[in-house]
A and B are shown apart, each in its own frame.
Chain A
Amino acid sequence: MDLRLLDALPTDAERDAIDAVVGEADGASDRVAHADRTRRHLLLPALRAAQLRVGWVSEGALGYASRRLSVPPADAYGVASFYALLALEERPADLTHVCTDLSCALKGARVAPGEHASPCLGLCERAPASYRTIAGVAPRELQLPESGPPLPQAGDSSLRLLRRIGAGIDPTSLEAYVAAGGFEQLRRARELGGDTVIGELKESRLLGRGGAAFPTGVKWEAVAGQQAQPHYVVCNADESEPGTFKDRVLMESDPFALVESIAIAAFATGARKAFIYVRAEYPLAHERIRNAIARSAPHLDGIEIELRIGAGAYVCGEETALFQSIEGYRGEPRNKPPFPVEVGLFGKPTAVNNVETLFNVLEVLRDGGADYALTGTEGSTGTRLFCVSGCVERPGLYELPFGATLRELLELAGSAPPKAVLLGGAAGAFVGPELLDLKLTHEDTRAAGVTLGSGVVIVYDERAELVPALLRIAEFFRDESCGQCVPCRVGTVRQEEALMRLAAGAPHADERETLAELAQVMRDASICGLGQTAANAIESAIVNLGVFA
């Protein structure tokens, strides 16, 4: 391979920042012809380090990272230019990203000159919110406002997943976690053995909480049974679905429980190595998880857990795009099949699970699968976290058994009579007040043609406007499409154009049919869930709520 590398040199600061990630250059290994291609997975961490140091990814930094990791420069550029938070042009070291997404828009978000607009930052209960990055020797990242309303159900003895958070247990202290029963379930898992753990999970009928509601026990069993080695566990903490903030709360306030449940997953699926992929905009979660991983070492029996940090790409929450991202490629989803349980991270069998799913594993082991399944309904066992924001008095994270109604949830949160509720996020659907008695379960929402998705509940009251929300959703999908496949790459653009004409009162004659056909084809012919759901919320608002009627 003959690589002509970029000529520009990094500054000393950039070199040091990148070396801190990829290791010191030793001359010999620095020459591309001999270099080790398998270190490509360090590309995103290296670029992130350079940007945190100087505020952007300069030509010299990009060239140096690609030389050190033997990634062809064109390829490295393709990766760097994929991620919204990586800047390939110089910009101020101190930059504020202001959320202009659904919940923040309802709370009057405004982007001042010099600030950047951002999709949902996962701080919706604190809306309007922003994320500030200050590059430098000691870089700082801030989630603003720095604190939000307290956990609404704090002290409620019925809490399960939120039990320790509700009780205010110190999230930085291993001792406090252990005193609260921490690492007992990992010990139990080892006693029971992997097969029994998987058996309990299957009996619990636990379904994944990341959006696709796949049975967790079945997934783990499939990975455990694969011949190919090694196996991996990946915790999906990319949480970028607009309106979602549950995983952030869990990671910030109960990080040891995540570490424990990941270790159980690794044990049961025969993995020795696990990754947690967290979106970039969650610096407090990074800190808490790093601390929890380090302190938990005595309990982990050699299982290695590595924190990986995103760089601004909703699509990287799609499991195969997430693998691509960890491996140092553009976050372009892979075609399935093959599925991750067979061909996952680095091409190996991989169990990928959402944060909330993993928290439930601890409950399954605590109760036993059969008892766990007593909570909730036949088709939706256990409890569910709901991220409530928008026009409510007490926005925040709620935990309710599956089967509670939307009305009950909204009453807890102090909602005014809503005009509409967005369920499941931008990839979800709007429902009107006639569905307030909808039971929040997989089976009931499916029957109503909607979805719980990642547990998003955004409330629009009588005064809230829906058209701007639809335009924001269309913009979101257009911005976040990875660009690989035609139905999504161009379809999301055409969808937004049609909505803008409708909003401006100057539609084409057949605009409604065009939107319906776009929805059908994006759903039918796109590669991944992003394109497949990009029309859902918009279509539901037009059909269920009669917007633009």
Chain B
Amino acid sequence: MTTTLIAAPKRMLDLTVDGQAVRVLEGSTLLDACRLAGIDTPTLCYGDTLTPVNVCRVCVVELEGARTLVPSCSRKAEAGMVVHTDSERVRTSRKLVLELLGSSVDLSLAPEALEYIERYDAKPERFGADAATVAQDVKVDNDLYVRDYSRCILCYKCVSACGEDAQNTFAIAVAGRGFGAHISTELDVTLPESACVYCGNCIAVCPTGALMSKSEYDRRRAGTWDEASEEVVTTVCPYCGVGCNLELHVQGDDIVNVTSPDDHDVTRGNLCIKGRFGFQFVQNRK
């Protein structure tokens, strides 16, 4: 993954990341610079197709001359910056942020977060068994997907995907505040009562398994979920003429999920209800 900047007359900026000289296009972020320098930087709320909200703070880096650490995913590179991505301060912050998340949220289906926890030797259990969590019942209120907000890290990705960054439906938003902040429809009504059109674009961006297709959820509960056997078949959506690329995730004889590649020009990972969930009709006809 490199920077994807296309506008013509942009300057190149020279900066230093972990002692390496890095040259990036003006407009790039420090995360872009880290990636260019081959430095693997953890991110949770950042998505290549979404406007950075810089809320998870797991991507922070140390910028010489700055009072605090800065989020690499949104901080724009400037000429002459000297950046450290693996200092004691950076490691402490990344580790504690992961501990704060791990102690309050069920991360068992969040592969990136689990990997970072291991990488930074984070110990979420340090806060004890009584530490407050966001544990709550799973919301199962429709046949297409479920919402398990006890797994939600509040990365805002679903809100961006449902709103300005993709779907323009604005069915969900962040409500409440502080530790009580949560993703919600208006007045917390069920999805069928909300503006949701079941495009599933929120599911596609959710990094924690908080949003999950009903088919996956049911299989997991029944113990028939078998990720190891899963194969991905690429095809073009048959429902209309747009030509969205589909990735059919197949376990045994069943299509269990449908996604679209993030780097596909047309979809940028997004689909509509037919592409995302139409496979159920294919299967029901069997």
In the assembled complex, the Cα of A483 lies from the Cα of B177 at a distance in Å of 5
Q: Which of A480-528 contact B (CB under 8 A)?
A: 480-487, 489-494, 497, 508, 510, 514, 517-518, 520-521, 523-527
- Residues of B with C-beta under 8 A to A527: 54-55, 57
Residue from the list A66, A482, A520, A525 in contact with B178, Cβ < 8 A: A482
- Contact, CB under 8 Å: B176 / A483: yes
A102 to chain B, nearest CB (A): 19
- Contact, CB under 8 Å: A487 / B154: no
Q: Which of B57-75 contact A (CB under 8 A)?
A: 57-58, 60, 68-69, 71, 74-75
Given contacts A2-B169, A77-B173, A532-B68, whether A483 and B179 have CB atoms under 8 Å apart is yes
Residue from the list B58, B184, B195 in contact with A72, Cβ < 8 A: B195
- Residues of B with C-beta under 8 A to A464: none
In the assembled complex, the Cα of A4 lies from the Cα of B53 at a distance in Å of 26
- Contact, CB under 8 Å: A74 / B173: yes
A40 to chain B, nearest CB (A): 12
- Contact, CB under 8 Å: A525 / B184: no
A82 at the interface (CB under 8 A from B): yes
- Residues of B with C-beta under 8 A to A408: none
- Contact, CB under 8 Å: A514 / B57: no
What are some 7 contacts across the A-B interface (CB < 8 A)?
A75-B170, A77-B188, A78-B175, A335-B74, A486-B153, A489-B181, A497-B128
Q: Which of B29-63 contact A (CB under 8 A)?
A: 53-58, 60
- Contact, CB under 8 Å: A487 / B176: no
Given contacts A2-B197, A78-B184, whether A524 and B68 have CB atoms under 8 Å apart is yes
A77 to chain B, nearest CB (A): 4
Q: Which residues of A contact B (CB under 8 A)?
A: 1-4, 6, 59, 62, 66, 72-78, 81-82, 88, 313, 330, 335, 337, 478-487, 489-494, 497, 508, 510, 514, 517-518, 520-521, 523-527, 532
- Residues of B with C-beta under 8 A to A487: 57, 93, 96-97, 100
- Contact, CB under 8 Å: A483 / B93: no
Residue from the list B174, B176, B179 in contact with A478, Cβ < 8 A: B179
- Residues of A with C-beta under 8 A to B174: 78, 330, 483
- Contact, CB under 8 Å: A523 / B195: no
Q: Which of B223-245 contact A (CB under 8 A)?
A: none
- Residues of B with C-beta under 8 A to A491: 96, 100
In the assembled complex, the Cα of A1 lies from the Cα of B194 at a distance in Å of 14
B130 to chain A, nearest CB (A): 7
Given contacts A74-B194, A77-B184, A486-B55, whether A524 and B60 have CB atoms under 8 Å apart is yes
Given contacts A78-B173, A489-B181, whether A524 and B132 have CB atoms under 8 Å apart is no
In the assembled complex, the Cα of A2 lies from the Cα of B153 at a distance in Å of 28
In the assembled complex, the Cα of A520 lies from the Cα of B92 at a distance in Å of 9
B180 at the interface (CB under 8 A from A): yes
Given contacts A75-B170, A487-B57, A521-B92, whether A494 and B103 have CB atoms under 8 Å apart is yes
Residue from the list B57, B168, B180, B186 in contact with A73, Cβ < 8 A: B186
- Nearest residue (CB) in A for B178 is A481
- Contact, CB under 8 Å: B54 / A521: no
In the assembled complex, the Cα of A486 lies from the Cα of B53 at a distance in Å of 12
B246 to chain A, nearest CB (A): 24
- Nearest residue (CB) in A for B71 is A335
- Nearest residue (CB) in A for B58 is A486
In the assembled complex, the Cα of A2 lies from the Cα of B55 at a distance in Å of 28
- Residues of B with C-beta under 8 A to A73: 186-187, 195
In the assembled complex, the Cα of A415 lies from the Cα of B261 at a distance in Å of 69
Residue from the list A72, A74, A483, A493 in contact with B132, Cβ < 8 A: A493
- Residues of A with C-beta under 8 A to B71: 335
- Residues of B with C-beta under 8 A to A478: 178-179
- Residues of A with C-beta under 8 A to B92: 517, 520-521, 524
Residue from the list B57, B69, B76, B175 in contact with A486, Cβ < 8 A: B57
A interface majority secondary structure: helix
Q: B79-108: contact bitstring with A at CB < 8 Å (1 yes, 0 no)?
A: 000000000010011001100110110000
A12 to chain B, nearest CB (A): 22
- Contact, CB under 8 Å: B154 / A489: yes
- Contact, CB under 8 Å: A497 / B131: yes
Q: Which of B165-222 contact A (CB under 8 A)?
A: 168-181, 184-188, 194-195, 197
In the assembled complex, the Cα of A6 lies from the Cα of B195 at a distance in Å of 9
- Contact, CB under 8 Å: B178 / A489: yes
- Residues of A with C-beta under 8 A to B285: none
A331 to chain B, nearest CB (A): 8
Given contacts A62-B187, A486-B57, A524-B69, whether A74 and B176 have CB atoms under 8 Å apart is no
A72 to chain B, nearest CB (A): 3
- Contact, CB under 8 Å: B104 / A74: no
- Residues of A with C-beta under 8 A to B177: 81-82, 313, 330, 481-483
In the assembled complex, the Cα of A437 lies from the Cα of B194 at a distance in Å of 62
- Residues of B with C-beta under 8 A to A4: 194-195
A70 to chain B, nearest CB (A): 11
B11 at the interface (CB under 8 A from A): no
- Residues of B with C-beta under 8 A to A82: 175-177
- Contact, CB under 8 Å: B57 / A74: no
- Residues of A with C-beta under 8 A to B184: 74, 77-78, 81
B286 at the interface (CB under 8 A from A): no
- Contact, CB under 8 Å: B100 / A490: yes
Given contacts A72-B195, A487-B96, A489-B178, whether A494 and B131 have CB atoms under 8 Å apart is yes
- Contact, CB under 8 Å: A72 / B68: no
B126 at the interface (CB under 8 A from A): yes
In the assembled complex, the Cα of A493 lies from the Cα of B133 at a distance in Å of 10
- Residues of B with C-beta under 8 A to A492: 178-179
- Contact, CB under 8 Å: A81 / B176: yes
Residue from the list A1, A77, A490 in contact with B179, Cβ < 8 A: A490
A89 to chain B, nearest CB (A): 10
A442 to chain B, nearest CB (A): 16
- Residues of B with C-beta under 8 A to A1: 168-170
- Contact, CB under 8 Å: A489 / B89: no
- Nearest residue (CB) in A for B54 is A335
- Contact, CB under 8 Å: B195 / A3: yes
In the assembled complex, the Cα of A489 lies from the Cα of B186 at a distance in Å of 22
B126 to chain A, nearest CB (A): 7
- Residues of B with C-beta under 8 A to A484: 53, 55, 181
- Residues of B with C-beta under 8 A to A514: 126-127
Most chain A beta-carbon neighbours within 10 Å: one of B89, B154, B169, B181: B181
Most chain B beta-carbon neighbours within 10 Å: one of A483, A490, A492: A490
- Residues of A with C-beta under 8 A to B68: 523-526, 532
- Residues of A with C-beta under 8 A to B195: 2-4, 72-74
In the assembled complex, the Cα of A493 lies from the Cα of B127 at a distance in Å of 11
- Contact, CB under 8 Å: A483 / B154: yes
